[in-house]
A and B are shown apart, each in its own frame.
Chain A
Amino acid sequence: MKHSVFLIRSLALLLVLVSVWCYQTAAIHRSEEKEQVRAEALQIKDRREAEASKTQQGKYIDGTYEGEAEGFGGPIRVRVNVSGGEIKGIDVYDHAKEDDIYFGMALAVTEQMIAANDTQADIVSSATFSSEGIIHAVQKALEKAVRT
């Protein structure tokens, strides 16, 4: 047949897509169950932390801090907003030399740092340089903000 290899390859691709879709349905189902357990655990943790913070001052001094570090293709500059002693926002206002796709992936570290109120975060795999750049820039910025 004239297009037999084309048909075989299309079928193989379809098979891969269908199995990925099956996997995805199962994985979403499983992660929903996990999410529930985690949400309950988080609530308990939040309550405890809220009680603790009443008696304790925050980790950082309130204010807006700027920091800079080397990313993939050039400097990355961030502005970190601290209020109530916690990291409230991280604005990466200069990333001109990063590749968009990689930078977009690396931005996940800012969410991690805000959620954990800490300057440590897991590096996004395959976007190492941009991730490290953002993390280092935040660390630089918050050097001046640490309560001693």
Chain B
Amino acid sequence: MKQNNELPAAAQKRKKHLRIKTAAAILIRLVFFVLMPAAFAAGFNGVKSLVTSIGKGEALGMNGFILTLIGLAGFTIVFGRFFCGYVCAFGTLGDAVYALSGLIQKKIFKRKKQISFPEKTVPFLQKIKYIILFLIVILCAVGVYGNLKGYSPWDVFSKLTTFKLPDEGQLIGIILLILIIIGMALQKRFFCQFLCPMGAVFAFLPVMPFSAIRSHKDSCLKGCSACRKNCPVHIKPGEDQFRDGECIACEKCMNTCPKSNISRPTQMIIKNEIVSLIFRALIFLAMGSFLGMCRFW
């Protein structure tokens, strides 16, 4: 293998590349946070709208929500869960809260290691989102969901993104949002991996093999699990195919692997990870603008 004797120069180059990549990732996430803060809720409204119509026995009509759902699902099938990793405003909120919580723990409480959930509990907690999806689908199908006004923490969040305070009718939603933010401070991607019903839908979708992240295990360092340790959803690429649906395409594993063993087949075409990231972001931006996800045009 070529990287057996990595030169310090090559390592330095890689380090610089990763610094630029991280900066690009933050910039992309900020831009999407400002431009499309309501996209995740609109996509899930598509699921709710479909199930509600079926529950009523009506013919399905095309509407903005269902179109958004089709767009997000299609993008996820082709490129993996890029939406979850880089676009979703709620995911970005989660990462920001976790980072802030880490900073507070380090500076004020002098903790060396940030608090997080025991790793063994994670795969079980990740199943909760499927139960939430199931419950919401049932509530929509029997026609009860429409009467539950003010329960959604997402509605409260999207209200806040317009710089308006939620109204008193949304009390339950406000309490849920506060609880979720506390959870976000304690675990990376707390909401995304444990609770998000839209994430549950995405996890069921087939991701094209050419976009799936995988590791070339033969050349791994013995006993190394840096990728899993740095993965926000605690997976090692290609270890358990069924749990690969959890992958949010954030590429933390690619950045962290000491042997640069992790890649996706599309890198044969676009070799530069930064270019590839920006490429996907631009395609999403084009699709999102076309489908009306942008708040400003």
Please state if A101 and B162 are interface contacts (CB–CB under 8 Å). Answer: no
The number of residues on chain B lying at the interface, defined by a beta carbon within 8 Å of a beta carbon of chain A, is: 41
Q: Within 8 Å CB of A99, what residues of B?
A: 38, 42, 292, 295
Main DSSP-derived SS at the A contact region: helix
Please state if B58 and A72 are interface contacts (CB–CB under 8 Å). Answer: no
Q: Within 8 Å CB of A10, what residues of B?
A: 206
The verdict on A126 contacting chain B, using a C-beta distance below 8 Å, is: yes
Please state if B58 and A31 are interface contacts (CB–CB under 8 Å). Answer: yes
Please state if A24 and B293 are interface contacts (CB–CB under 8 Å). Answer: no
Q: How large is the interface on A (under 10, 10 to 19, 20 to 34, 35 or more residues)?
A: 20 to 34
- Residues 16-27 of A, flagged 1 when their CB comes within 8 A of B and 0 if not, give 000010011001
The verdict on A12 contacting chain B, using a C-beta distance below 8 Å, is: yes
Please state if A100 and B64 are interface contacts (CB–CB under 8 Å). Answer: yes
A31 closest partner in B (C-beta)? B59
Q: Within 8 Å CB of B295, what residues of A?
A: 99
The verdict on A30 contacting chain B, using a C-beta distance below 8 Å, is: yes
Q: Within 8 Å CB of A12, what residues of B?
A: 204
Please state if A27 and B57 are interface contacts (CB–CB under 8 Å). Answer: yes
Q: Within 8 Å CB of B57, what residues of A?
A: 27, 30
The verdict on A84 contacting chain B, using a C-beta distance below 8 Å, is: no
- A interface vs B, CB < 8 Å? 2-7, 9-10, 12-13, 20, 23-24, 27-28, 30-31, 72-74, 97, 99-102, 104-105, 125-129
- B interface vs A, CB < 8 Å? 38, 42, 45, 48-50, 52, 54, 57-60, 63-65, 67-68, 145-146, 149, 155, 158-159, 162, 164, 204-209, 212, 241-242, 244-245, 291-295
